[in-house]
Amino acid sequence: MARINDVGGVEGFGPVDTADDSEPFHADWEARVFGLMNALRAQGIFNLNEFRDAIESMPPGEYLAASYYERWFAAIRTLLERKGVIEPGELDD
């Protein structure tokens, strides 16, 4: 079935907010998540397609509510838990 990321032609997302915002990161943790993704990929812990797959597999409500780098972090967690690198819940408070 189609996944939530597959939005081409889907109605209802409203007008484009065309504000010229090209700040790469809006918080330090976003930069860290960016770095983590690249480091883990470089080490072969997961590949780019697995990473995309993990983002797309988010429950639709969570995907839509999450910011760009929140999605990245969710995908990193999913993959690291699936591969046994970390324990489920190990990052929670």
Partner 1 sequence: MSGDHSDATIARRVRRLETLLEEKGLLTGGELDEAIDSFLAGASPANGARVVARAWTDAAFRSRLLADGTAAVRELGSMEGSYQRLRVVENTATTHNVIVCTLCSCYPLRLLGPSPSWYKSEAYRSRVVREPRAVLAEFGLELPPGTRITVWDSSAETRYMVLPRRPDGTEGMSEEELAGLVTRNALIGTAVL
Partner 2 sequence: MTDRFAPGSRVVTYLHDPPHHTRLPRYARGKRGVVVEPEGRAELADVSARGRADAPVEQVYAVRFEARDLWGEGDHQVVLDLWESYLEEYEEGAADER
Binding residues for partner 2, how many (CB under 8 A)? 12
Rounded to 10°, the helix 28-42/48-56 angle is 130
Q: Binding mask 33-72 vs partner 2 (x if CB under 8 A, - otherwise)?
A: -------------xx-xx-xx--x----------------
- Any residues with CB less than 8 A from the CB of 91 and at least 6 apart, and which? 77
DSSP of 7-25, one letter per residue? -TT-S-S-S--------S-
For residue 29, the minimal CB distance to partner 1 (Å) is: 4
For residue 50, the minimal CB distance to partner 1 (Å) is: 13
Partner whose binding site includes residue 31, from partner 2, partner 1, none (CB under 5 to 8 Å by kind): partner 1
d(C-alpha 68, C-alpha 25), whole Å: 10
Residues 8-27 that bind partner 2 (CB under 8 A): 8-9
